[in-house]
Amino acid sequence: MTKPSLVGTWALLRGTCTAADGTPRPEPYGPKGMGRVSFSPDGYMVAVVCDCRTDLPDDVEREYNSYCGTYTFDGKRLITKVFANSDPRRLSVDQIRDIHFEGELLVMRPPPSADRGHIGDQRVVWWEKIAEV
C-alpha cells in the first residue's frame, strides 16, 4: 500500500486540543469547524480554517486563520515559508507541522502553542482529501 500524496486539496475533518498537563481542551475551530488546505505539485500551498458557528458563546472568540506560501515536505515534516497570513504576527514566520497519514487521512500536528492564550496546548488536525491536483 502506497502512502497518499500530500499534493491536492484537503478538507478539515476534525481536530483535538490537549493542555500541557493532558487535560482535554475545546476542539480547534469549534464543533462546526471548516477548512481547506491545498498543496500544488510545484511547492505552493494555501490554507484557511474557521469556526463556522453562527452564534458563539459570550466567552468564545471566533477562531480564523489563513496563510499561504511555499512548502517543503520530507515525508514527516511540512515547512511552509509564509508570505501572506491573516495574523500579522505570523507573517514571514515558517509554519512547521509534523505530518503522518492514517489510512487516507492527513494528520497535522503543529508545535505546542506559544501564543494562543494557553501556552503548551497541543493541537492535532485531521484532513480528508477532496480533490487531486
Q: Which three cell numbers stand for residue 100?
A: 503522518
Whether residue 3 is contained in a domain is answered as no
CA distance 26 to 18: 8
Which pLDDT score, from 0 to 100, does residue 59 have? 86
Which pLDDT score, from 0 to 100, does residue 116 have? 55
Amino acid at 130: I
Whether residue 1 is contained in a domain is answered as no
Residue 96 lies in domain: 8-131
Q: Which three cell numbers stand for residue 121?
A: 496546548
Which pLDDT score, from 0 to 100, does residue 117 have? 63
Q: Along the 133 residues of the chain, how does pLDDT read in single tens digits?
A: 567 899 999 999 999 999 989 999 989 899 999 999 999 999 999 999 999 999 998 888 889 999 999 999 999 999 999 999 998 887 877 899 999 999 999 999 998 877 656 788 999 999 999 999 8
Which pLDDT score, from 0 to 100, does residue 48 have? 97
Whether residue 117 is contained in a domain is answered as yes
Domain at 121, CATH number: 2.40.128
Whether residue 103 is contained in a domain is answered as yes
Closest to 40 (Cα-Cα) out of 68, 61, 12, 64: 68
Which pLDDT score, from 0 to 100, does residue 18 have? 94
Quote the number of domains for the chain.
Answer: 1
Write out the chain in H/E/C secondary structure.
CCCCCCCEEEEEEEEEEECCCCCEECCCCCCCEEEEEEECCCCEEEEEEEECCCCCCCCCCCCEEEEEEEEEECCCEEEEEEEEECCHHHCCCCEEEEEEEECCEEEEECCCCCCCCCCCCEEEEEEEEEECC
Which pLDDT score, from 0 to 100, does residue 89 have? 81
Whether residue 2 is contained in a domain is answered as no
Which pLDDT score, from 0 to 100, does residue 50 have? 96
Which pLDDT score, from 0 to 100, does residue 65 have? 92
Which pLDDT score, from 0 to 100, does residue 115 have? 64
